[in-house]
Structure 1
Amino acid sequence: MNKTLKYQMELFWLAMGFFTRIPIPSVTPYSEERMNRAGRYFPLVGMLVGFLVYLGYCVFSLFLPLEVAVLLAMVLSVLITGAFHEDGLADMADGIGGGMTIERRLAIMKDSRLGTYGTITLSLALLLKWQLLVALLGSGLVSPALILISAYTLSRAVAVTLIYDMNYVSESNGSKSKPLAQKQTLSEFWCAIAIGVTPLLCLNGYSSMFIVTAMIVLRSIFKIWLNKRLGGFTGDCLGAVQQIAEITIYIVMLSLMQ
């Protein structure tokens, strides 16, 4: 195998091992520098997860009502990712909702216990996602594969590109996300964007334009908000942004169908 291709494949395996529970080759080399470089493939991992969730939905929908099939597809998604991003959303909500200072917010976010803000935010997010997917997948107007793969891929591109132009802040130097969260290069930034928007090429230009615009606005707002509340981002924030971006994509898609 070409040395460059082998290196890129190893970076993809690292990204998949970090962001999912899918087994990767045991011989995959690891270093903090490689983990940092692997961030470019976060959206590609999302594309794979979205495809697997779509396959699960297809199987479930063969013998179950739409609402149940969608819920089981969401369960499958959580099993594949280990609730990695949902955990980030809950932790961020607890920290920013419950802390009065930056130091206190970061400390709360590192606490493994789930608080009121996190519980409410996660519950509402999952309920909203379920309802949106039931409406979208039940409409028959857009391919379920395109809906899921687009949202899973692009939302991860939005999240990971925050590394490019934001400062990483953490209460702990031993944070699992620290190697990933070092600065991105410009080429890695555009690599993630290119992968993120690829599924949108299968949508009409009008829909793609609105979805991309919504993601640019969301990313800008979140960047300003996180800088104000935390002075930067943490790994939990990236997970939270992914979940919020995914839900926003579903909202935009559904609004375009009306």
Structure 2
Amino acid sequence: MKPATARIAELQLAVMLLTRLPAGQLKDPAPKLSDAQWAYPLVGLIVGLIAGICHGAATGLGASPALAAILSLSAMILSTGALHQDGLADFADGMWGGHNTARRLEIMRDSRIGSYGVLALGLCCAIWSASVAQLAGSADLAAFLAIGVLSRVAMTVCLATMPPARHDGLGAQAGRDTRANLTVSAFLALAAVIVLGLDGLIVMLVVAAVTFVIARTAQQRVGGQTGDVLGAVQFLAETAAWATLAILSN
């Protein structure tokens, strides 16, 4: 397979994995999940574009800042099939609902949502929406794009630095990241910071701090990363990024 064709197939796989957007069918030989990690931030760019366009359209039609924020969050959730939100809920239930590693992993695999999951998901959605609403006109398309990229870079960092907690599932199949994947992610993260201007550096540091805390918690409690851990990292990093921009806007 030619390099350009392979990169397109990897991007296609990343879109299929992280969203519910139509991406066609992969041709044989299909790329491995680990080969598609470099494209995760580009998927964030696509999802951010959808949410940003929805926010701009709602605002232009006269929606209040709160309604525009909720509609953009809804567009984002619909485009990803609530993949990351589901991961956050499972992560919260598992981390604080189990008393040992095996039980935590079992809870995280359970499709039912518990009290910790409901609280974590509700609070994050509320903070996300309130932050975007506070920014109002400052929540432009560029911010949606940049934060979409940064929050998916956080996922690739976790895959690069953490072993899988299970021998099956998304985390195990994706495997460790490669130097090439991390290099691409680093360039995309730098571009996102530049787009956000002076506030971008602070946002990146906050995203890095959130990623570190979640990764360390997962390492200590379940021994590594899983698909749910990656989902939690993405949505928590994104929520923290929006909250940071909102605070800095005052």
Deviates more, 1:228-237 or 1:63-72: 63-72
- Residue number in structure 2 paired with 1:244: 236
1:153 maps to 2:145: no
Q: How big is the shift at 1:42?
A: 0.4
Unaligned regions of 5+ residues in structure 2, if any?
none
- Residue number in structure 2 paired with 1:112: 111
Identity between Structure 1 and Structure 2 (%)? 26
The correspondence of residues 124-203 of structure 1 with structure 2, limited to 5 A, is 124-136=123-135, 138=136, 140=137, 142=138, 144-170=140-166, 173=168, 175-180=169-174, 182-203=175-196
CA RMSD of aligned residues (A): 1.7
Unaligned regions of 5+ residues in structure 1, if any?
none
CA 1:114–1:30: 2 relative to 1, 3 Å: farther
CA 1:227–1:27: 2 relative to 1, 3 Å: closer
* Structure-2 separation of matches of 1:133 and 1:21: 24
Q: TM-score scaled by structure 1?
A: 0.90
- Residue number in structure 2 paired with 1:256: 248
Q: Report Cα offsets for 1:126-182 as digits up to 9, x if no partner.
A: 11111111001x1x3x35112211111101101221111111012x73x245322x1
Q: Report Cα offsets for 1:20-59 as digits up to 9, x if no partner.
A: 111112244464x522110111011001110111111122
Q: Report Cα offsets for 1:62-121 as digits up to 9, x if no partner.
A: 322222122111111111000000000000001111000011000000000111110111
- Residue number in structure 2 paired with 1:227: 219
Structure 1 runs of 4+ with >6 Å offset: none
Q: Is the 8 A contact 1:156 1:196 kept in 2?
A: no
Q: Is the 8 A contact 1:46 1:153 kept in 2?
A: yes
Q: Is the 8 A contact 2:193 2:201 kept in 1?
A: no
Q: TM-score scaled by structure 2?
A: 0.93
- Residue number in structure 1 paired with 2:209: 217
CA 1:27–1:96: 2 relative to 1, 3 Å: closer
Q: Is the 8 A contact 1:155 1:196 kept in 2?
A: no
Match of 2:41 among 40, 43, 60: 43
Deviates more, 1:48-57 or 1:191-200: 191-200
The correspondence of residues 27-38 of structure 1 with structure 2, limited to 5 A, is 27-29=26-28, 31=30, 34-38=32-36
